Amino acid sequence: MTNEILKQAVSNQLLAAKELPTISTVNNLPAFFPTANLTPAKIRSHIFRAEDRFDSRGNLIAGNGLAKSGAIVRRKGSRSILIDVNRYGDWLAGKGCVA
């Protein structure tokens, strides 16, 4: 019994020592940045433009760098997209979007 308690205490200490990222859905993300005037539609637009893509003529359109920042979390086997709040905030600050 004491061995299990010891394992649990060590596990709790490891979780406390390891800083877990703050993850949010697209709909909840604007609440983290109230001065940035974000809406879920704007965030989806940022996600759509995150990676390089080609237009109908075959010209390369550069991405906005959000994918390279690592802020987009895509789960395997799921269509849901989650956002790492800290990395997204760093990306916004680099873009000059946060007031």
Instruction: Write down the pLDDT at residue 85.
Output: 93
For the residues 2-31, what does the mean pLDDT come to? 72
CA 76, 82, 84, 87 torsion: positive or negative?
A: positive
Cα distance between residue 37 and residue 42, in whole Å? 9
- The per-residue pLDDT for 99 is 41
Segment 53-74 mean pLDDT? 93
Neighbouring C-beta atoms of residue 9, cutoff 10 Å: 10
Indicate whether 77 pLDDT > 50: yes
CA distance 7 to 4: 5
Query: Does the pLDDT of residue 43 top 70, yes or no?
Result: yes
The answer to whether residues 94 and 85 touch, using CB atoms and an 8 Å cutoff, is no
The pLDDT of residue 94 is 85
